[in-house]
Amino acid sequence: MTVQVRLFGNLKGKAPKLDDSGYVGIVEMPIDDIETINDILGILKVDEMETSHIFLNHEYTELSSSVKDGDKVGIFPRDMALLYRWYFKGGIKRSYATGEKARK
C-alpha cells in the first residue's frame, strides 16, 4: 500500500534510491501517512517554493490533490520550471501571449 514518488533534478538526492537511468530519485511511501501531495512534500522536507511542476499519474496536479494506493507522483525542482509562474501564485496580470488573465 504505497505511493511512488519520483524526484527529478536536484531533488533526486532526497530519495534513498535511483531508477535504472540513475537520473530519477524513487521513494516508495506508505499510503497510511499521506492524504495529499502536500503531505508528501512535508515528509520529504521539501518546501513548496523548491518545486515547480508536480504530476499525479502523468497529469499536472496541485498540492491539495488527494493521493491513493498505487499512485505515481512526479516532482520537479524550481530550476526545472518550464511553465509560467502566474499559474501558481500572484496577482492578475494580462498576458499578451495568451490573451488571458491569470488567476489569483
Partner 1 sequence: MITLGEKVATKILRLDMTELKATMEDVPDKWKNLGGRGLTSSIVAEEVPADCHPLGPNNKLVLAPGIVTGTKAPTSGRLSVGGKSPLTGGIKEANAGTSFAQKVARLGLKAIVVEGHRKKDDYFMVNILKDEIEFHDATIWSNMGLYKAYDDIRARFGVDVGICACGIAGEMGGAGAGVAFNDPEGMPSRYAGRGGLGAVMAARGLKFIVIDDSGGPGVKMADEEVFKIGTKKLTNALTSHDITKKGGTLNTYGTSALVNVINEAGALPHRNFSAGYDDMAPMVSGEKKAEVIKARGGERPHACSPGCIIRCSEVWVKQGGVDPVGVLEYESVWALGPNCGIYDLDDVGELNRACNDLGLDTIEMGDTMGVAMEGGLADFGDGKKAIKLMKEIENKTATGRLLANGCAFAGQAFGVHRVPAVKGQGLPAYDPRPIKGIGVTYATTPMGADHTAGYAIAPEILGVGGKLDPLDKKKGQLSRNFQNYTAFIDSSGYCLFTTFATVDIPEGFDGIVESCNGVLGTKWSADDAIALGSKIVLLERDFNIRAGFSNEDDRLPEFFRIEPLPPSNEVYDVPDEELDSVFGK
Residues in contact with partner 1 by the rule CB under 8 A? 6, 8-9, 19-24, 52-53, 55, 57-62, 74, 76, 78-87, 93-100, 103
CB of 81 to partner 1, least distance (A): 5
Distances (CA, A) of 26 to 33, 39, 52, 71, 83: 17, 17, 18, 13, 24
CB of 73 to partner 1, least distance (A): 10
Q: Which is nearer to partner 1, 69 or 79 (CB)?
A: 79
What CA–CA distance (Å, rounded) separates 81 from 15?
Answer: 20
Q: Give the CA count within 13 Å in the CB-facing half-sphere of 50.
A: 15
What CA–CA distance (Å, rounded) separates 31 from 12?
Answer: 20
Q: Which is nearer to partner 1, 14 or 78 (CB)?
A: 78
CB of 1 to partner 1, least distance (A): 21
